[in-house]
A and B are shown apart, each in its own frame.
Chain A
Amino acid sequence: NAGVTQTPKFQVLKTGQSMTLQCAQDMNHEYMSWYRQDPGMGLRLIHYSVGAGITDQGEVPNGYNVSRSTTEDFPLRLLSAAPSQTSVYFCASSYATGTPYEQYFGPGTRLTVT
């Protein structure tokens, strides 16, 4: 099992560029989510999905789009990158039902927007 994989590990974008952060899991988890981690701000929820075809907004969804066409993949799209989106992005997955709702996290993507 690879667990949760994220690509790329590092990315530098110019303001206004778009890109997609990839996330995949091989644990057949229904629930997937994206977080961003900024210094002093902890982990903030961007978007989440309780299953294929279903997505919803988290705490800080503006500037990001997601889709969930398969159980395994949950890409995060930055439509027009801004310096405020410089952050470390983590994808996570878990079972949607049944405790303890333990999420497995990927290693993260470090994004810099100049």
Chain B
Amino acid sequence: DQQVKQNSPSLSVQEGRISILNCDYTNSMFDYFLWYKKYPAEGPTFLISISSIKDKNEDGRFTVFLNKSAKHLSLHIVPSQPGDSAVYFCAARGDDKIIFGKGTRLHILP
């Protein structure tokens, strides 16, 4: 049973606009949430994270929002740039395990 769900396999966004990637989770014991970015033939790289006691964390163009009551988080990228085209993974930490979602492929259109 999937504990971390990314229900959109892909997303296309115009360059310069906002990209919003969504993630849902089922385990209320998760205490930390992370976003990773992955290019083909490379390992994932860490983007941004948020503790379960916060509802927002911002780092440059990237902002993560957490809605604990809905068990939902989202990653906002503003403005979107061509180099943002990649697969984005949502991950959640609980009980010493870090569980990943299936990923969303983001295409930034010129």
Chain A residues proximal to chain B, CB less than 8 Å? 4, 31, 33, 35, 40-45, 48, 50, 56, 58-59, 90, 92, 96, 99-108
Contact string, B81-110, partner A, CB cutoff 8 A, digits 1/0? 000000001010100111111110000000
Chain A residues positioned under 8 Å from B98 (CB to CB): 33, 45, 48, 101, 103
Partner of B46, one of A103, A106, A108: A103
Interface size on B, as a range, is 20 to 34
Known A90-B43, A90-B44, A106-B43; judge A101-B101 contact (CB<8 A). Answer: no
Partner of B96, one of A43, A56, A59, A90: A56
Cβ contact within 8 Å between B100 and A44: yes
Chain A residues positioned under 8 Å from B41 (CB to CB): 107-108
Chain B residues proximal to chain A, CB less than 8 Å? 6, 9, 32, 34, 41-46, 49, 51, 89, 91, 93, 96-103
Cβ contact within 8 Å between A58 and B34: no
Known A48-B97, A105-B44, A108-B43; judge A100-B89 contact (CB<8 A). Answer: no
